[in-house]
Amino acid sequence: MSEQKVDTRLWSSKARNLSPYVPGEQPQHANLCKLNTNENPFPPSPKVGEAIANVLEQQAYDLRLYPAPESDDLRASLAELYNLDINEVFVGNGSDEVLALVFASFFLKERPVLAPDISYSFYPVYAQTFGVELVQIALEDDFSIDPDAYRQPCSGIIIANPNAPTGLLLSLADIRKLASEHSNSVIVIDEAYIDFACIDETNSSTQVSAVSLINEFDNILVTQTFSKSRSLAGLRVGMAFGNASLIEALTRMKNSFNSYPLDKLAQAGATASVLDNDYFEQTRQQVIDLRKSLTTQLTTLGYQVLPSHANFVFARPKDGNASAVAAKLREQGIIVRHFDKPRIQEYLRITVGTQAQHERLIDALTAMQTYSEDSETISNMG
């Protein structure tokens, strides 16, 4: 429905004033090299499909029954994984739903919520949806987050860590500082990509997640997702970890909106994913390794690549012509994400893919440079 034809006569003013989130496109063409929405190049654990098939075989009759409203088994498995109490764990229909409930539960106050000016573009949308004032704090010139810039009265702070689309990581020391300085505000750390982060790339078990801080700070809430490191974007499961009183607020808000957001199959599949930790560790290390090799290849081509802790890289072609490069890649069926926004319009966000996808991407970028640089063209012909 085109914009000018919409009849909004019967809409609430809230509906009229929305600027909905625009997700990365999901084209369905064959042979596409899809590096635009940060999906995992590897399939989910085979245990996921087995668990769901088992529900279908053993309990198909029970699909007629409502699912467990609080997803108890799934929450128990996550509590065990992170050594938390089950009352410190909340799950929802993707971390997007969890984040929406977070805005309504903690940020709807007199004071504004603070967020980086360059970050997940759904944050300003949630603020609009729930009537929350959002103040954007500028990233530093190197795209890093300076905790001192957040020293102002606020209802809360929300930071994607690693941040998107930059991929940069905020240290636990900085998160502690934010939580200490804002003890009456909820500090939400959106860790959609945290499982790909590591301080020491040779040792992925180094502690980087703020989940390790929630027993120390009652005002830190951590959100995560099954869509990235667990390869289950198609199953819609996200979670939050925090003090039991924060989780209770989210639970009440959920039960005032939609009591059963996770269907039986999603609960079974997600639980199986959590229990198969070997597979999880193996594939996330593979993604980290692939990110490293992609970074090297792009750097060799003259790209400036930010040090990424996510399953994507944020890279600037040496001429800064990111928009043109994205368009040319698209002609060849290679989709990357370009944001036409101040400060980042010269960058491309490229999802870490398979080795084969990287080869196709690098070949295309190499051919582009060969074609555009006369001297190289001549030497290649010579």
Residues from 177 through 206 that contact a copy of itself (CB under 8 A): 184-186
Among 9, 142, 203, 375, binds a copy of itself (CB under 8 A): 9
Nearer to a copy of itself, 181 or 248 (CB): 248
Selected binder of a copy of itself within 43, 153, 302, 307 (CB under 8 A): 43
What minimum distance in Å lies between the beta carbon of 144 and a copy of itself?
A: 27
Count of residues in contact with a copy of itself, rule CB under 8 A: 93
| Residues in 310-339 that interact with a copy of itself by CB under 8 A | none
255 part of the interface to a copy of itself, by CB under 8 A: yes
Q: Which residues contact 24 (CB under 8 A, 6 or more apart)?
A: 36, 37, 38, 337
275 φψ region: left (φ > 0), alpha (ψ -120 to 50), beta (else): alpha
Find the binder of a copy of itself among 74, 84, 154, 262 (CB under 8 A): 262
CB of 319 vs a copy of itself, minimal distance in Å: 32
- Identified binder of a copy of itself from the candidate list 73, 133, 146, 248, rule CB under 8 A: 248
Among 4, 64, 205, 382, binds a copy of itself (CB under 8 A): 64
Q: How many CA atoms lie within 13 A of 227 on its CB side?
A: 21
CB of 364 to a copy of itself, least distance (A): 22
Contact 214, 185 (CB under 8 A): no
Q: Which of these, 232, 158, 222, lies nearest to 191 by C-alpha position?
A: 222
Q: Tell the smallest beta-carbon distance from residue 366 to a copy of itself (Å).
A: 28
Phi/psi of residue 287, each to 5°? -65, -40
Specify the stretch interacting with a copy of itself by CB under 8 A; choose among 12-20, 164-172, 337-345, 354-362.
12-20
- Between 93 and 132, how does the x/- string for binding to a copy of itself read (CB under 8 A)? xx-xx--x---xxxxxx---------------xx-xx---
Helices (H) and strands (E) in the chain, counts: 12, 12
| Cα 291 to Cα 137: distance, rounded to the nearest angstrom | 29
Q: Is 333 left (phi over 0), alpha (psi -120 to 50) or beta?
A: left
Computed from CA positions of residues 199, 355, 120, 155, in that sequence, does the dihedral angle turn out positive or negative?
Answer: negative
What residues numbered 142-181 form the site for a copy of itself, per CB under 8 A?
Answer: 155
Binding piece for a copy of itself, criterion CB under 8 A, among 16-24, 309-317, 330-338, 341-349:
16-24
| Residues in 214-243 at the binding interface with a copy of itself, rule: CB under 8 A | 218-219, 227, 231-236
- DSSP, residue by residue, 77-141: HHHHHHT--GGGEEEESHHHHHHHHHIIIII-SSSPEEEESSS-THHHHHHHHHT--EEEEPPPT
Least distance in angstroms from the C-beta of 28 to a copy of itself:
9
CA geometry: angle at 183 spanning 177 and 184, to 5°?
145
Quickly tell me which residue has 């199959």 as its tokens. Answer: 265
**Structure tokens, 377:** 């063209």
CB of 367 to a copy of itself, least distance (A): 27
- Strand (E) or helix (H) holding 218: none
Site for a copy of itself in 71-90 (CB under 8 A): 87
- Considering only 79, 81, 86, 253, the residue that binds a copy of itself (CB under 8 A) is 253
Considering only residues 171, 258, 299, 377, which one is a binding residue for a copy of itself as defined by CB under 8 A? Answer: 258
